[in-house]
Amino acid sequence: MREKRPALVITFATTTAAMAAERFSLAQGLPGRLIPVPREITAGCGLAWKAPPEEKERLLLAWEAGGLRWQEAVILCC
């Protein structure tokens, strides 16, 4: 079994918002990837962005500047 580490998990209300965040992040060279929403939290569309916790401010500022929308940003062990 692999070791669980803290991770930034950002949820979205819609699949469209999640896909837009993925497209934007890849184009901008931002860290992370789309994952299924962990059981510990609930989200509208079932997709979330997982990235290193230390990248939270960078990601959210870039997404805000890019006009992206998200629901919640939390740090979980996953």
- Residue 57: per-residue pLDDT: 98
Which domains, ranges and CATH numbers included, belong to the chain?
A: 6-77 (3.30.70)
Q: What pLDDT digit, counting tens, does each position of 21-60 carry? A: 999 999 999 999 999 999 988 877 999 999 999 999 999 9
**Cα separations in angstroms, 23 against 1, 18, 33, 58, 72:** 31, 9, 10, 16, 19
Q: What is the pTM of this model?
A: 0.92
